[in-house]
Structure 1
Amino acid sequence: MFRNLNTGIIKRLAVNSLKSDKKRNLFLILTIAFSACLMLTLSLKILGQNTKLNRYLKGRYQTVFTDLSAEKVEELKNRPEVERSGVKVSLGTPRIRDYVLTIEYVDAETASLLTYGELEGSWPETENEIIVESGCLEHLGLPIQTGQTLNMDMGDGVKRDYTVSGVMYTENEARIYRVIVSEAYLNAVTDGNPRYTLNIRLRGTEGDDMETLKGKTLALAEACGLKEQQVFYSSTYFTMGEDLPIEKVMAIAFCCLLIVVATSLVIYSLFYISVVAKTQEYGRLRVIGTTRRQIKKLVRREGLFVSGIAIPVGILLGSLLGFLLEPEGWKWSISIPCMAVIAVLTETAVMISIRTPLKIASSVSPVEAVRINEVSTGGAVRNKERKQRRITPVSLAFLNFGRNRRKAALTLCSLGFTGILLMCAASYLNSVDADAMARAGFGVGCVHIELEQGDNGAQEIDADSATEYYTKMEQDNPLDDEMFRELSQIDGVTDVAVFRGCKSNFIFPRMNDYARENPDTLSFRNIGLSRAQMEKYSDMLLEGTIDYDILVKEHGVLAGDSEKLMYRFYGYQPQLGDVIQVKTDQGTTVELKVMGLVESPHVGIDVPFFYVPDALLPLLKESVDNFNTHYMVEGEPDKEVQIEEAVIDMMEDWDHVEINFLSDIRHQMVKSMEQIKLPLYGLVVFIALFGILNLVNTLLTNVVTRRQEFGILQSVGMSGGQLSAMLKAECFFYVAGTILITLTLGTAAGWTLCRIFDQLGTFGKLVFHFPFVPVFVFAALLLVIQMVFSVWAVRYCGKEPLIQRIKSE
């Protein structure tokens, strides 16, 4: 008996089919390769940055020990567990007119451990030598060079000459500039008794996890007689030291999902168009005995062949780009799994995308297949319209657009998906209010004038404690009625909010050993609220009472510690009914009863734990007449610059005050948003490329497969101009549909996204603003593609004689 041995026939048919449709295959290979390349490049870039950071952190500090004497510093440095260490002493952050100086003493080892930037020059040695940031010299209008003399106020109100021994090159847009002083200067302002902060990294800890490292650090602290409260861990080292941080993996997964969806739409569309065009061919194969299963296998082999070329190319290019973008972050143990995951993900997307075209190819019966053509695949055309109607290029374009509704819908979905993503990204970026974000962090007003707390003038504090220093400032309080009048009279100022208070030492009913052994650390600010302020912030009450009269009568205090900082450092967690002893300036104590637990109102005062009625403040400080601690200047938004300039002009006559401007916070927020815009729009651009590929493929397929149709139309009188108008109209339908989806679904998606972020409150108040410029650019790009396509199509059709086009199949 003879058998038809057709084992390799499907393979040969697939090869022949691929050879006959080279244009489609090229589009598929480009799309799949680009998708794999983009996903892998993105993954390797993000993870490479993290690996680079990890490697960088391996040589940086891990832990900080605070409040150390010189002897204790030497003891720790000489411990065998310590691989590297460096000392630091913060000497204040005074504001000098419109900028802030961060004055500190650090040694060269600390600068390396903390990465202070590239240094030109030498480390300061004499008392009048300093290192400054390059941005500070630029701000002052001075040349960026060493050896020059600066006449500067270092926070004590007196200008002195300092020699620039070194310039530190850093990127600084916040007008907060670091100044590094010499050890001689440090000893002069602290009477030779500074309290150091020591940054260390332990020896042999490269492979340790975070818990093991913390255990070794605490063991070292205990061996040297240090308290746990003196130990702080590097937030950067301990929170960003993982090889695969979950937030970055989630970001990669989200971006890859978007890319896969966009790729799948293009692949689906390309295979669908190809299958519809080859329906008669598949029907003939069915007539000669090819089974549905074999037809499916034929189409599947085409998909496997195309992806078999595209995915390795994409993985190779993606790996190369990933390495070039982050060569210092390349790690084989991360890169190889990434390649494998992206390859599997891309192949899965291809197989899922061709499932429906595959079913279409195998589902048509042989009898139907020999009759079907592309015109009828979108559903039978019902001939119930008028027999006579006017034929125009636009009406012909509309008829062709409706020939295959599924193909048109796929192209519109692909482009519409891009438009929706664009609207979401652009709406979010256009609706984020840098001013609202700044105000959310700044609090009330546009200028804060605060009584100096004692950390900006170490040379004046001497042996006074923080509480005694603050009380001394209030006894000669610069925040007086005259300053209030001057601020109120500034053009544009609408109100000056006044907050009162004092600083006192507390004795808690429950404390840990550290608090008992170090009572001077229990120095806290009491915020004295007026009756009106208590009514205004009554919603901050969590438990108890906030009635002004009751609190005055019963010597009540409101306590707020939602972050449990007091419990962490001092072992005290406020409870209703607790009696807290407060030391007065007369050496006595006053008992205050915790009568309310509150969530601190966000007005711009740093971490206040206790609030009392302002009528109780004289009980705590009999020597103080003026308890004003904060003037918060509120003004007309359009006159904020004038208000800031007026305050800067006045501040030279004010001593012992700290001044903060809303504009500084806003400037930092704007810079942060600028860093977010580029990657977001970059992702949208890459997604848009898939949609444009789909549009171009659809348009090109229409032209190439309809040459005969165009020839027939021109043979009966259609001019080249009419043909061009028809093709322009067909393309315009796609462009108009995409813009319609963008303006409707995209706007709704963008509005919803803004509402969600507004409810979360992460970025302050978000008010939806329509992104006119990005939408205009997107629409203009689509229209340009339309114009270029119509010109190309007419020229393409004109390359062949009319008779040749009529004969072509």
Structure 2
Amino acid sequence: MKAVTQLSKKNLTQTRSRSILIGISIMLTTALLTIIGLSCNGILKMNSHNSSVLYGDFHAAFTGISEEKKQEISVRGEIEKAGSMSSVATVELGKASGVLSYYDQNARAMSNLKMTGQSRIPTGENEIMAQKSFFKKLMKKKPKIGDTVTVPYRINGEGTVLRKKFTITGFLPDSEMNDLKQAYGAVVSKEFFEKAVPVEQRSYTLCVKMKKADKVTENGLKESINQLAEKLSIPEKNVSLNTIFIMWDTDPGAETVAAGVFIAAVVILFSIVVIYNIFYVGMIQKVQEYGKLRAIGMTKKQMKQMIFREGMILSGISIPVGLIVGYFGTDLFFTKIAGFSSVNESINEAIANTQLFSIPVLAGAGILSLITVCLSVKRPMQIAAKVSPVEAVRYQENTGKKKQKRKGCRQVKLIGLTRANLSSNRKRTLMTILTMGLSCVMFVTIANLCGNMDPAYEAKKDVKKGDFYLTLDTKLDDKTYPEKNLNRVQEQGLMNASVVEKIKKIDGVTKVETGKWAAVKVRGNEEEGTSVIQILSKKDFNAFVKSGLERGSADYEQLVKESGTVYLWDHFFDENGYHIGDKISMDLLDGERKVPLTLKITGSANAHLEASWAMTEETFKKLRVKGNLTSEIYISCLPEKKTAVEKQLRNLTGGSEFYDLLSYDDAYRTAQLGIGLLRDSLYALLFVIGIIGFMNMANTLITSIVTRKKELGILQALGMTNRQLARMLQMEGLIFTAGTLLISLTFGNAAGYMLFLKCKDTGMIGINDYHFPMAEILVMAGILLMLQILLSAFMSRKLQKDSLVERIRYEE
């Protein structure tokens, strides 16, 4: 037994270059398994431990809750704790908007309300806390704690504008997203809330955390919340589930478990295939040497033991190193993610504070690598044990029992030599191409998703055409200040022909398009209140409505013929009691004049428009409306004039509080912030997959060259030049690259397209139109090609350092 171990050690020492290569391969694969395992465990741990910080410590939020209903909910036995908050008033901030809100102690804790510096929660009637940007809209100087500020507000967004002096008690964290949207929040005290809002007018949002059984599932908890809401007579539309927190706060449902098992199985299977191929390629060439040992008396069992111990010795050295490298690699990986994300400081903090070290995961990665090595040496062990001593001495890879005829050639060409080498080692060649192809399939699949996450699509939801979108910022049902309602603001002529002409004359403006809105009241459906109907041309109807049609028809000619309309919020179509084919009666508000109209519902869509209804221009013209209902203007300009045009537009619209100007660039930046973290995380995963592909390719090319050192020396002795040798090695690498690309492009794009369709159906941000991820695939192909050329050139130069005689005398 001791002699077998000594033989294993000696063999590894004599074939040092190959042993180092196999050891590095095992180490790198172990490191990658460790990175995958620790990363997944870190993400699970981060979300499990920080889910309440990241997503709020509540399972659901009930909106529109009265004071009486609030008391009833707070004593329910199904509820562990509840926190109440209320939007007390809206704030007049010029072009920006603000909200004064009250949070009780539970709500502050459950929603993770954060403060900066020496801030404290407002307790007095005249105390306030908000973002610094909020105060800058109201003060001429830089706000400090203890300063007083006069805030203009309207209780519940209605009634007269009141003004009150508040003392600043602290600041909420500033947010780039709030600055882009020009929307801010402020916190006031309970005393102010109770004095400002009568009991009968109070409307709360209740954050609710349910009592749950030890093994309650995600689906079970959701069902419990919906049942509670039904018992409390809370409408379904007023129930908002905190789905991400529910997922991490419960035992995962069947779908989550199935998804986790599937991902784990794919990673493990892929890792086994990669390690098996690497070890097989390295070990199979030794069979002839082992045959010599069989010829001098070594038994089959001893042969197996010797090969097995070689694998175990290499694993014993490489796996611990791989675990160490993998741990530090994971630490760097998580740090990079924290650096990428600037959208949410809480996420950054949670990632940075996540404890990545996990003995069970490290042990699991080590055991998995060890088992994989055991499986990898099984085939070489069987080959060496089965052959007779005479056959073993003359063993060549892929030698079978079937007799083969040797084919000769009149001329020996490089391509013929390359083909002969790859075909004689057919199994190794196919296994290498397959494993490299699988890693690249994963790359192409994810690239199909990443490459189609388009912030421009999200931005187009806000600015559908041009570079700037100018619209009217109005109310619809303001009874205290009716002059702020859409129909009354339209009477001011803020978007009449003269305004449009002024915009057209701005230096740099290339195109101006207008759109019409009208305020309407649907008869017999008073709950819906005043809504908006948009008047669209055929071009815009097809672009904005027809593309988002969910049911019915949006054929423009049909709508013109039948005086039809399309409902634009399909999610609420059934809830509001509408049906395709129904005729609805409306009053269109033309200033203070009502214009009756009857329209037929032909379809329902999700169109991402500000309006609830859409009608054709031809139908609108029949109504003989007197007023100018232009309510939106799209402005296009020269790229180099964009800044100057925006300045002119803001000067032009600065005289009225009802103008709202949004630039496409601002909308694009907002979308980028939302997409950024998800895309960066996926590209980090692609980086890991890329390492797997490179490691496998490098191992195969280097092993192939090292094991043929004597053969290549003989070829050069017969007349092959160094340049021809380099070209032959490069051609071999090109064949590996071509096969890899063929597999990855065929299967990767098919899987990627299916993933794209699934994500589109779920409404993932930025996913709409599919396009082939050409840039990502060209980068992948370029990197594979470059690495193979560099490896071939490196090995060619290394071979040339040895003299021809040394290469011919080389023994593995």
Q: Calculate the TM-score normalised by the size of structure 1.
A: 0.72
1:359–1:128 distance in 2 versus 1, CA, 3 Å:
same
Partner of 2:36: 39
- Equivalent positions of 1:701-720 (< 5 A) are 701=703
**CA drift at 1:313:** 8.4
Partner of 1:452: 473
Q: Which amino acid aligns with 1:451?
A: L
1:40–1:221 distance in 2 versus 1, CA, 3 Å:
closer
Segment drifting more, 124-133 vs 395-404: 395-404
1:353–1:373 distance in 2 versus 1, CA, 3 Å:
closer
Partner of 1:736: 734
1:384–1:315 distance in 2 versus 1, CA, 3 Å:
closer
| Cα contact 1:415–1:691 (8 A) shared by 2 | yes
**CA drift at 1:479:** 3.4
1:86 aligns with 2:68: no
Partner of 1:67: 64
Partners of 2:618 and 2:197 in 1: how far apart?
A: 35
| Cα contact 2:278–2:699 (8 A) shared by 1 | no
Q: Which amino acid aligns with 2:101?
A: Y
Partners of 1:505 and 1:62 in 2: how far apart?
A: 36
Q: Which amino acid aligns with 1:385?
A: C
Partner of 2:605: 600
Partner of 1:4: none
Q: Which amino acid aligns with 1:200?
A: C
Partner of 2:116: 119
Partners of 2:574 and 2:596 in 1: how far apart?
A: 20
1:506–1:186 distance in 2 versus 1, CA, 3 Å:
farther
Partners of 1:151 and 1:464 in 2: how far apart?
A: 21
Partners of 1:583 and 1:764 in 2: how far apart?
A: 34
1:199 aligns with 2:206: yes
Select the residue among 95, 100, 103 that pairs with 1:104: 100
Q: Which amino acid aligns with 2:579?
A: P
Partners of 2:454 and 2:55 in 1: how far apart?
A: 38
| Cα contact 1:546–1:596 (8 A) shared by 2 | no
Q: Which amino acid aligns with 2:206?
A: N
**CA drift at 1:441:** 6.6
1:445–1:56 distance in 2 versus 1, CA, 3 Å:
same
1:370 aligns with 2:393: yes
**CA drift at 1:667:** 1.6
**CA drift at 1:674:** 3.6
Select the residue among 234, 237, 244 that pairs with 2:242: 234
1:20 aligns with 2:27: no
Residue-by-residue CA offset, 1:589-637 (whole Å, 9 max, x unaligned): 99866633313362x4236156587756998x99x83333433445677
Partners of 2:788 and 2:292 in 1: how far apart?
A: 38
1:561–1:375 distance in 2 versus 1, CA, 3 Å:
closer
Partners of 1:65 and 1:808 in 2: how far apart?
A: 77
1:225–1:792 distance in 2 versus 1, CA, 3 Å:
same
Partner of 2:499: 483
Residue-by-residue CA offset, 1:526-549 (whole Å, 9 max, x unaligned): 334568866886785954796779
| Cα contact 1:103–1:178 (8 A) shared by 2 | yes
Q: Which amino acid aligns with 1:38?
A: I
Residue-by-residue CA offset, 1:337-377 (whole Å, 9 max, x unaligned): x7898788767755665565556445645543322346989
Partner of 2:343: none
Partners of 2:665 and 2:257 in 1: how far apart?
A: 32
1:279 aligns with 2:278: no
Partner of 1:514: none
**CA drift at 1:180:** 0.8
User: Cα RMSD (Å) of the superposition?
Assistant: 5.8
Segment drifting more, 771-780 vs 116-125: 771-780
Partners of 1:641 and 1:111 in 2: how far apart?
A: 41
| Cα contact 1:63–1:232 (8 A) shared by 2 | yes
Partner of 2:534: 527
Return 5+ residue gaps in structure 2 as ranges: 13-18, 335-350
| Cα contact 2:490–2:591 (8 A) shared by 1 | no
Select the residue among 178, 188, 196 that pairs with 1:182: 188
Partners of 1:257 and 1:545 in 2: how far apart?
A: 44
Q: Calculate the TM-score normalised by the size of structure 2.
A: 0.72
Segment drifting more, 58-67 vs 532-541: 532-541
| Cα contact 2:30–2:365 (8 A) shared by 1 | no
Give percent identity, aligned residues only: 15
- Equivalent positions of 1:547-566 (< 5 A) are 557-559=565-567, 562-563=570-571, 565-566=572-573
1:68–1:752 distance in 2 versus 1, CA, 3 Å:
closer
1:654 aligns with 2:677: no
3-state secondary structure, aligned to 1:507: coil
Partners of 2:746 and 2:600 in 1: how far apart?
A: 48
Partners of 1:653 and 1:188 in 2: how far apart?
A: 35
Partners of 1:589 and 1:64 in 2: how far apart?
A: 39
Q: Which amino acid aligns with 1:527?
A: Q
Return 5+ residue gaps in structure 1 as ranges: 1-8, 509-518
3-state secondary structure, aligned to 2:682: helix
Select the residue among 162, 167, 171 that pairs with 1:167: 171
Segment drifting more, 24-33 vs 489-498: 24-33
- Equivalent positions of 1:511-590 (< 5 A) are 519-529=526-536, 540=549, 542-543=551-552, 557-559=565-567, 562-563=570-571, 565-568=572-575, 570=576, 572-577=577-582
**CA drift at 1:740:** 4.0
1:630–1:299 distance in 2 versus 1, CA, 3 Å:
same
- Equivalent positions of 1:385-784 (< 5 A) are 385-386=409-410, 404-415=425-436, 417-418=438-439, 421-422=442-443, 425=446, 429=450, 432-439=453-460, 443-454=464-475, 461=478, 463=480, 469-476=485-492, 478-490=494-506, 491-504=508-521, 506-508=523-525, 519-529=526-536, 540=549, 542-543=551-552, 557-559=565-567, 562-563=570-571, 565-568=572-575, 570=576, 572-577=577-582, 595-600=600-605, 602=607, 604-606=608-610, 608-609=612-613, 611=615, 625-633=627-635, 643-698=645-700, 701=703, 728-729=726-727, 732-741=730-739, 763-768=767-772, 769-771=774-776, 775-777=781-783, 779-784=785-790
| Cα contact 1:712–1:806 (8 A) shared by 2 | no
Residue-by-residue CA offset, 1:109-152 (whole Å, 9 max, x unaligned): 334322344433234556585411579979x9997965678899
Partners of 2:389 and 2:285 in 1: how far apart?
A: 15
**CA drift at 1:41:** 1.7
**CA drift at 1:677:** 4.2
**CA drift at 1:44:** 0.8
Residue-by-residue CA offset, 1:301-321 (whole Å, 9 max, x unaligned): 876887798779878987998
Residue-by-residue CA offset, 1:176-217 (whole Å, 9 max, x unaligned): 353315358878997998643333334744756567756776
**CA drift at 1:55:** 5.2
| Cα contact 1:500–1:529 (8 A) shared by 2 | no
Q: Which amino acid aligns with 2:241?
A: Y
Partners of 1:582 and 1:59 in 2: how far apart?
A: 43
| Cα contact 1:57–1:241 (8 A) shared by 2 | no
Partners of 1:447 and 1:206 in 2: how far apart?
A: 53
Segment drifting more, 750-759 vs 156-165: 156-165
1:352–1:504 distance in 2 versus 1, CA, 3 Å:
farther
**CA drift at 1:274:** 1.3
| Cα contact 1:153–1:160 (8 A) shared by 2 | yes
1:222–1:185 distance in 2 versus 1, CA, 3 Å:
same
Aligned length: 762
3-state secondary structure, aligned to 2:23: helix
1:92–1:29 distance in 2 versus 1, CA, 3 Å:
same
